[in-house]
Chains A and B, each alone.
Chain A
Amino acid sequence: MGFIVGVSAVLGLALVLVPVLGGDFLAWQIGLYLLYGVAAQGVGLAWGRGGFLPLGNAVFFGLAAYGAAMVLRATDGALMVNLLAMLGIAAVLAAMAWGLAALVFHGRSDSGPFFSLITLALALIVAQLAETNPAITGGFNGYAGFPPLAGLDPFGMLYYAIVALVVAVTAALMLLDRLPAGLVLRGLVAQEGRLQLLGFATNRVKAWAFAGAAFITALAGALFASHQGIVTPQATGFVLSAELVIWAAVGGRLHPLGALFGAVAIGLLSAELRDTLPWWEVLVALIFLVVVLLAPGGVAELLAQGARRLGWRHRGGRTAPGSAPPSRAEMASGALRLEDVHLRAGSVQILKGLSVACPETGILCVIGPNGAGKTTMLKAITGAMRVQSGRITLGSRDITGAPPHAALSAGIGRKMQIPTVFRGLSVTENLQLAALAGRARAADFLRPAALGWCTPALSRLLHHPGVPLAGLGGQDAGSLPQGHRQLLELALTLAPEPRIVLLDEPTAGMSPEETALMVELIRDYQAQSGAFVLVIEHDMALVAALEARVLVLHQGRALAEGTLDAIRADPAVAAVYAGGAK
Chain B
Amino acid sequence: METALLIGLNAAWQIAALALLALGLAIVFGLLRILNMAHGEFVMLGAYSHVLTAQMGLPPVMALVVCLGFVGLAALLVERLVVRHLYDRMFDSLLATWALSILMREAVELVWGRSFRNVPLPIEGVTQIGSTGYPTYRLLVIALIVGFFVLLWLWYRRSLTGVRLRAMVSNPSLARTAGINTARLSAMAFVTGCLCAGLAGLVLAPVLAIEPNMGLDALIRSFFALVVGGLGTLEGLGIGVAVVGGLQAGLSAAVSQTAGYLGVLVLAIIFLWRRPDGLYRRR
Q: Is B152 an interface residue (CB 8 A)?
A: no
User: How would residues 38 to 59 of chain A score, 1 for a CB under 8 Å from any chain B CB and 0 otherwise?
Assistant: 0000000000000001010000
Assess the A281–B109 pair: CB atoms within 8 A: yes
Assess the A292–B283 pair: CB atoms within 8 A: no
Within the complex, which residue of A129, A239, A296, A346 is in contact with B283, where a contact is CB–CB below 8 Å?
A: A346
| Known contacts A114-B276, A124-B216, A278 near B110 by CB under 8 Å | yes
Assess the B272–A118 pair: CB atoms within 8 A: yes
Assess the A106–B82 pair: CB atoms within 8 A: no
By a CB distance below 8 angstroms, the chain B residues around A288 are 99, 102-103
By a CB distance below 8 angstroms, the chain B residues around A246 are 99, 102
Q: How many angstroms between the C-alpha atoms of A427 and B100 in the bound complex? A: 38
Assess the B99–A289 pair: CB atoms within 8 A: yes
Assess the A121–B95 pair: CB atoms within 8 A: no
For chain B, the count of residues having a C-beta within 8 Å of the partner chain is 37
Provide 18 A-B residue pairs closer than 8 Å at the C-beta atoms, listed in order of the A residue.
Answer: A53-B94, A104-B272, A112-B91, A115-B272, A117-B224, A121-B268, A124-B216, A124-B217, A125-B261, A128-B258, A128-B261, A284-B106, A285-B103, A285-B106, A292-B95, A292-B96, A346-B283, A347-B283
Q: How many angstroms between the C-alpha atoms of A129 and B252 in the bound complex? A: 16
Q: How many angstroms between the C-alpha atoms of A285 and B107 in the bound complex? A: 9
Most buried by A among B82, B85, B98, B227: B98
Assess the A106–B273 pair: CB atoms within 8 A: yes
Sorted from nearest, which 7 A-B pairs have the closest CB atoms?
Answer: A285-B103, A289-B99, A113-B35, A281-B106, A285-B102, A282-B106, A288-B99
User: Which residues from 309 to 363 on chain A have a C-beta closer than 8 Å to any C-beta of chain B?
Assistant: 346-347
Majority-rule SS of A interface residues:
helix
| Known contacts A53-B94, A285-B102, A296-B92, A104 near B258 by CB under 8 Å | no
Assess the A121–B273 pair: CB atoms within 8 A: no
Assess the B273–A104 pair: CB atoms within 8 A: yes
By a CB distance below 8 angstroms, the chain A residues around B95 are 53, 249, 292
Q: Is A245 an interface residue (CB 8 A)?
A: yes
User: How would residues 280 to 319 of chain A score, 1 for a CB under 8 Å from any chain B CB and 0 otherwise?
Assistant: 0110111011001100100000000000000000000000
Q: Is B76 an interface residue (CB 8 A)?
A: no
> Which residue on chain A has the smallest CB distance to residue B103?
A285
Assess the A125–B262 pair: CB atoms within 8 A: yes
> Which residue on chain B has the smallest CB distance to residue A51?
B91
Least CB distance, B75 to chain A, in whole angstroms: 16
| Known contacts A53-B94, A113-B94, A292-B92, A103 near B273 by CB under 8 Å | yes
User: How would residues 240 to 258 of chain B score, 1 for a CB under 8 Å from any chain A CB and 0 otherwise?
Assistant: 0000000000000000001
Least CB distance, A103 to chain B, in whole angstroms: 6
> Which residue on chain A has the smallest CB distance to residue B102?
A285
Q: How many angstroms between the C-alpha atoms of A245 and B35 in the bound complex? A: 18
> Which residue on chain B has the smallest CB distance to residue A55?
B98
Assess the A286–B103 pair: CB atoms within 8 A: yes
By a CB distance below 8 angstroms, the chain A residues around B35 are 112-113
By a CB distance below 8 angstroms, the chain B residues around A118 are 268-269, 272
Least CB distance, B267 to chain A, in whole angstroms: 11
By a CB distance below 8 angstroms, the chain A residues around B217 are 124
Least CB distance, B106 to chain A, in whole angstroms: 4
Assess the A293–B96 pair: CB atoms within 8 A: yes
By a CB distance below 8 angstroms, the chain A residues around B102 are 242, 246, 285, 288
Assess the B99–A285 pair: CB atoms within 8 A: yes
Within the complex, which residue of B216, B227, B265 is in contact with A114, where a contact is CB–CB below 8 Å?
A: B227
Least CB distance, B128 to chain A, in whole angstroms: 35
Q: Which residue numbers of B lie inside 8 Å of A, CB to CB?
A: 35, 37, 82, 85, 90-92, 94-96, 98-100, 102-103, 105-107, 109-110, 213, 216-217, 220, 223-224, 227, 258, 261-262, 265, 268-269, 272-273, 276, 283
> Which residue on chain A has the smallest CB distance to residue B276?
A108
Least CB distance, A511 to chain B, in whole angstroms: 30
Assess the B258–A129 pair: CB atoms within 8 A: yes
Q: Is A173 an interface residue (CB 8 A)?
A: no
By a CB distance below 8 angstroms, the chain A residues around B269 are 103-104, 118
User: Which residues from 106 to 156 on chain A have a C-beta closer than 8 Å to any C-beta of chain B?
Assistant: 106, 108, 111-118, 120-122, 124-125, 128-129, 132
> Which residue on chain B has the smallest CB distance to residue A283?
B106
By a CB distance below 8 angstroms, the chain A residues around B213 are 239
Assess the A124–B227 pair: CB atoms within 8 A: no
By a CB distance below 8 angstroms, the chain B residues around A117 are 220, 223-224
| Known contacts A111-B91, A118-B272, A282-B107, A245 near B98 by CB under 8 Å | yes
> Which residue on chain B has the smallest CB distance to residue A116?
B94
Q: How many angstroms between the C-alpha atoms of A117 and B35 in the bound complex? A: 11
Most buried by B among A108, A118, A284: A118
By a CB distance below 8 angstroms, the chain B residues around A238 are 216
> Which residue on chain B has the smallest CB distance to residue A347?
B283
Assess the B262–A292 pair: CB atoms within 8 A: no
By a CB distance below 8 angstroms, the chain B residues around A122 are 265
> Which residue on chain A has the smallest CB distance to residue B216?
A238
By a CB distance below 8 angstroms, the chain A residues around B276 are 108, 114
Q: How many angstroms between the C-alpha atoms of A289 and B91 in the bound complex? A: 14
> Which residue on chain B has the smallest CB distance to residue A288?
B99
Most buried by B among A55, A246, A282: A282
> Which residue on chain B has the smallest CB distance to residue A290?
B99
Q: How many angstroms between the C-alpha atoms of A291 and B82 in the bound complex? A: 12
Assess the B82–A293 pair: CB atoms within 8 A: yes
By a CB distance below 8 angstroms, the chain A residues around B90 are 112-113
Q: How many angstroms between the C-alpha atoms of A287 and B254 in the bound complex? A: 46
Assess the B220–A124 pair: CB atoms within 8 A: yes
Assess the A289–B220 pair: CB atoms within 8 A: no
| Known contacts A103-B273, A288-B99, A289-B103, A282 near B110 by CB under 8 Å | yes
By a CB distance below 8 angstroms, the chain A residues around B283 are 346-347
